[in-house]
Structure 1
């Protein structure tokens, strides 16, 4: 497949990857994506995406013509589930020139509210962060074997239409958990789409990008702003020690850091559409209340 007919293959065509897939198709790209069951295949076809079963004999011909691979699949306790399926194909993917991996800022571990950037050594404290680092290294090996550029996107807390503090407040599920000094960085779905799209259309060599906005903030402040903006009662503050949280939710509070995003701005010449939660608030309210689609 020529450079004028790019073919994007997506592993994990979910919330973060779907806008990128739609952007590619709008620009004339062929887009294929993996699936595990027939219902997912039907949903992909309805989007205009070619569904491919997640098994080697089906993957091989689809990947053979792919110029770009994007994966958003999180590694499990046994490692990245995709790499064992495609590593043996790396030497045969003659058309492949770019691989994108959606990782996480949890690879940096806890910095007690301090700043991190792409040059900060990875020091994950959580098991899922350690698995992310292992997956990043494995995808680096794959990109070397396939002679393709690898762009790793370390994502902060993802929010956007349907998944945000406004939606949580309107659904009556919002909690204001307070832990002294706790800060989270966030990234809007639209800014993930634009960053990845620019990277996959660039000639940049392999590198890491942090995807985070400009305004890390305490989580309780975000809930308060959302509640006030939609005219709902502000939930009471709950001390972290007293909060009824799942083990997964509780683990997020074990790490606190501010994430720098300078590399996206300089290397991709990109100005964030939503540099803060405040800047996204009106659009989130419009979407969640049905006045904007």
Structure 2
């Protein structure tokens, strides 16, 4: 819960000015955390009518923040995805302006998909990227562009993101959940609270100097998707959907869904949680789904 994260977090220095480029699910959560702590934040969306929006960034429409919009910024987080050609819109349109500023920290949200299929093996930041899916190849190209930019960049590699309004609880409620069984298949996840919390933690760490270039932001417990469904159904006291063997279910999946199921890996968070000292607010899916249910119940009361 964001209030729990606020209560245990420390604000940045008084002169900190944060620019969040892409204030959607993850970027918006960080924006709300920082504002609750009293930090000045500028947050971009494609429209000023969107939640949290202070300025507009829509490269496809030619709507780009001005130099004045970037005045005074000390920290930047970019959540904006690559173009279909694999280019980074932020570096393309704002890279030169960012380089003119004295930035303490620049974060780029990427994906653990850049590790590719590991057949269930554990991976860490020391393992080479081996992206198999075109979308992951585009992400890896953008990672490299950021690392080559000369900016004080940290790449945050994220697995599946969940949180209130975006979890198995929602698909169970709507009857769209599918209990697909594939032997030894696991997925890794991270609660949106811990994305925001990790970003803030790494911003604090950067005050003492540059940190590691790449950081996995994942929870402690890779798990089979049916384990989440079973636990979610118990929380909601609802019936589980019927089991579907993957071999049959795959025929009715979208190409995107099949691509997710084609890769299997476990992602280590040792660097973030043990070496850099970040304590996960939701260390596994059980804690995270309990939080989702609590937040959603409060929003309906």
Q: C-alpha displacement at 1:4, in angstroms?
A: 3.2
Change (3 A) 1:246 1:220: same
Match of 1:260 among 257, 260, 268: 268
Q: C-alpha displacement at 1:53, in angstroms?
A: 4.4
Within the alignment, does 1:160 sit opposite 2:163 as a pair? yes
Asked if the contact 1:52–1:62 (Cα under 8 Å) also holds between the matched residues in 2, the reply is: no
Distance of 1:22 and 1:289 partners within structure 2 = 20
1:29 is matched with which residue? Answer: 39
Q: C-alpha displacement at 1:268, in angstroms?
A: 3.1
TM-score scaled by structure 1?
Answer: 0.89
Asked if the contact 2:22–2:78 (Cα under 8 Å) also holds between the matched residues in 1, the reply is: yes
Q: C-alpha displacement at 1:261, in angstroms?
A: 0.3
| Residue correspondence of structure 1 range 140-155 to structure 2 within 5 A | 140-142=147-149, 144=150, 148-155=151-158
Change (3 A) 1:164 1:266: same
Asked if the contact 1:56–1:85 (Cα under 8 Å) also holds between the matched residues in 2, the reply is: no
1:20 is matched with which residue? Answer: 30
Distance of 2:198 and 2:31 partners within structure 1 = 13
Secondary structure at 2:25's aligned position in 1?
coil
Q: Which runs of 5+ in 2 are unaligned?
A: 1-12
| Segments of 4+ moved more than 6 angstroms | none
Distance of 1:57 and 1:113 partners within structure 2 = 41
2:104 is matched with which residue? Answer: 97
Q: C-alpha displacement at 1:139, in angstroms?
A: 0.9
Distance of 1:221 and 1:91 partners within structure 2 = 46
Asked if the contact 1:166–1:288 (Cα under 8 Å) also holds between the matched residues in 2, the reply is: no
Q: C-alpha displacement at 1:78, in angstroms?
A: 1.5
Change (3 A) 1:277 1:248: same
Distance of 1:133 and 1:263 partners within structure 2 = 20
Asked if the contact 2:56–2:64 (Cα under 8 Å) also holds between the matched residues in 1, the reply is: no
2:175 is matched with which residue? Answer: 172
Q: C-alpha displacement at 1:58, in angstroms?
A: 3.4
Asked if the contact 2:31–2:43 (Cα under 8 Å) also holds between the matched residues in 1, the reply is: no
Distance of 1:291 and 1:84 partners within structure 2 = 40
Within the alignment, does 1:225 sit opposite 2:228 as a pair? no
2:214 is matched with which residue? Answer: 208
Change (3 A) 1:18 1:211: same
2:10 is matched with which residue? Answer: none
1:274 is matched with which residue? Answer: 282
Within the alignment, does 1:60 sit opposite 2:64 as a pair? no
1:191 is matched with which residue? Answer: 194
2:54 is matched with which residue? Answer: 50
Deviates more, 1:69-78 or 1:25-34: 25-34
1:4 is matched with which residue? Answer: 14
Distance of 1:173 and 1:51 partners within structure 2 = 36
Distance of 2:138 and 2:236 partners within structure 1 = 39
1:134 is matched with which residue? Answer: 141
Task: Provide, for residues 75-121 of structure 1, a one-character-per-residue CA deviation record: whole Å limited to 9, x for no partner.
Answer: 1321222221012324422x322100011000000111110011111
Change (3 A) 1:53 1:159: closer
